[in-house]
Amino acid sequence: MKPVRLGTRPSALATRQANWTREALEKLGTKVEIVKIETTGDVDRSESIANLGAQGVFTKEIQRALLSGEIDVAAHSLKDLPVEKIPGLRLSAVPEREDPRDVLVSNKYKSLEELPRNAIVGTSSARRKSMLLRRAAKQFPDAEPPAWDVRDIRGNVETRLRKLDDGEFDALVLASAGLNRLGLGDRAVSFLEAPDFLPAVGQGALGLETREDDAETIEQIERLVSEPTFLCVLAERAMLAELRGGCIAPIGAKGSFVRLDDGTELLALEAQILSFDGLKSFQTTSIQTLDPKKFGGSLPFETQKGLAELLGKGAAQALIEQGASELVEEIGRARIERDEKLRKRSRAPER
């Protein structure tokens, strides 16, 4: 059998994830060859993620290589993988998830409660920015918003930490999973917890994508599936797709898989959408039973996946029924404005 060619970004974090996948597959007898592929997000590190254009700035070059047959599997940080389906590709496996929470990193303060007015906080995420602005408005109700100076920061994790250490920022908000995978978990000073802070869709999870017609590779990759994790992220991604969200959307979600003492299995989904300034928000929690007794005595995994996606769509509808339509429209307008700016910039003559 030929080695499975595993495509990944060249960053330190992506390489760690690819190496984990390689080791896990080789323990099961599958040889793996890692192929590093630069993406738009790796090449352009000056622009904010939201300003780089269409979704998939960290994935589309890898997906092209997968479709062309240059690689057999694409390894993605699942939060970077757009929810829109690419014809010919399928998400074949999601291994067990790392800690999905966000964390505060600071050399001065131990928690958000300690952050003073006008503190400079760095983040690359519209979701985190909105949640921070919302929290600042609650923490300093008498201050003219925004009470914290939340600034965009680009670069890999090590670059961001260096900017913090050089005094450019008072604090950063990063993903716990990324720090843990790089052996930097001790830099976190506190976790940012629900209900005020929900992680990005798929945060902390690794997505392994294959071609739909590559049955041999799919069979190898599916051995790494964590069914509870897969169901959780499917619900999260279905919610995001239903709200037509993407990389610029201030939307958070957290799926949870629970097995009760009587053997009943439940899938829960917390979801939240915010305005860009953080001053408006809607939140909901939805639950789906996976009890086989309610479904004729058997519940195949493919059926469970379908129920997870229905749960996500239902959560999105619950947010809309609360009044989130105006925020969905706000996100849509922001996307149109961004795309128009990019078109103008691409047409501008070089000087």
Return the SS3 of 236: helix
Question: Any residues with CB less than 8 A from the CB of 177 and at least 6 apart, and which?
Answer: 97, 98, 99, 100, 203, 204
Among this protein's residues, is 170 annotated catalytic?
Answer: no
Residues 199-237: b if buried by 16+ CB within 10 A, e if exposed: bbbbbbbbbbbbbeebeebbebbeebbbebbbbbbbbbb
Distance CA 58, CA 14 (A): 10
Between CA 199 and CA 100 the distance in angstroms is 6
Amino acid letter, residue 39:
T
User: Active-site residue among 42, 44, 80, 262?
Assistant: 80
Closest CA to 177 of 135, 229, 221: 229
* Contact yes or no for 55/84 (Cβ under 8 A): yes
Residues known to be catalytic = 80
